[in-house]
């Protein structure tokens, strides 16, 4: 009997805490909807898409390929990024560059984002700083896997 009473008290205590959080959060949320400034935000929920979470400067977002002053990719097709990639989703194909100082340039540079785990290993491995993940773009959902295959045009554009 005493044990059952203890359980009952705990249920009441838990319910009071839940109801208190609900009422307080609703109060601040309604204030926010009415554009009345308050000391704090109510619910921690982010009202996406009107409201967006701030992206940290070191966040690994959508890839981009860096270019030289003449607009050509900085990539020298050393294959280090493709070798470091644990998902094997980078494919690079070389062609000869007319500039003997550069020698090789990518004829194809493909990243299959449907397989990418956004580890950033390829960026770390690149000796030319030719590939970065600093676009702050995190919304690139597509309807097909094929649309998630990024080629030179998409990576440079
Ligand atoms: S972020 Fe990681 S998994 Fe994605 S392409 Fe780069 S190395 Fe591969
Ligand atoms: S590591 Fe850098 S230079 Fe080498 S293939 Fe990848 S992007 Fe190009």
Task: Report how many domains make up the chain.
Answer: 2
- Which amino acids bring their CB within 6 angstroms of ligand 2? 75-81, 92, 125-126, 128, 130-131
Residues 82 and 144 in one domain: yes
Mean pLDDT taken over the chain: 92
Q: Note the pLDDT tens digit of each residue in 34-47.
A: 888 888 776 777 87
Residue 126 in contact with ligand 1 by CB distance below 6 A: no
Residues 46 and 68 in one domain: no
Measured distance CA(29)–CA(42) in Å, rounded: 5
Which of the ligands is closest to the CA of residue 89? 1
Sheet holding 90-96, edge to edge: 90-96, 104-112, 149-150
Residues 79 and 128 in one domain: yes
The range of the structural domain enclosing residue 18 comes to 1-53
Q: Note the pLDDT tens digit of each residue in 103-146.
A: 899 999 999 999 999 999 999 999 999 999 999 999 999 999 99
Q: Which residue has the higher pLDDT, 42 or 83?
A: 83
- Confirm whether pTM is higher than 0.85: no
Residues 138 and 105 in one domain: yes
Measured in Å, residue 117 CA sits from the centre of ligand 1 at: 6
Q: Which pLDDT value is given to residue 123? A: 97
Structural domain contains residue 4: yes
Residues 34 and 93 in one domain: no
Residues 99 and 46 in one domain: no
């Amino acid at each position: 009997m005493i044990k059952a009473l203890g359980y009952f008290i705990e249920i009441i205590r838990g319910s009071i805490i839940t109801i208190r959080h609900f009422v307080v959060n609703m109060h601040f949320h309604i204030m926010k909807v009415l554009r009345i400034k308050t000391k704090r935000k109510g619910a921690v929920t982010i009202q996406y898409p009107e409201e967006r979470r701030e992206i940290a400067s070191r966040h690994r977002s959508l890839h981009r390929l860096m270019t030289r002053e003449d607009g050509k990719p900085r990539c020298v097709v050393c294959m280090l990024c493709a070798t470091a990639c644990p998902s094997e989703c980078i494919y690079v194909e070389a062609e000869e560059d007319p500039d003997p100082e550069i020698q090789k340039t990518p004829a194809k540079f493909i990243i299959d984002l449907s397989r990418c785990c956004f580890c950033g290993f390829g960026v770390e491995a690149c000796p030319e700083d030719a590939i970065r993940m600093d676009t702050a773009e995190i919304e690139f959902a597509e309807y097909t896997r094929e649309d998630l295959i990024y080629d030179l045009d998409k990576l440079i554009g």
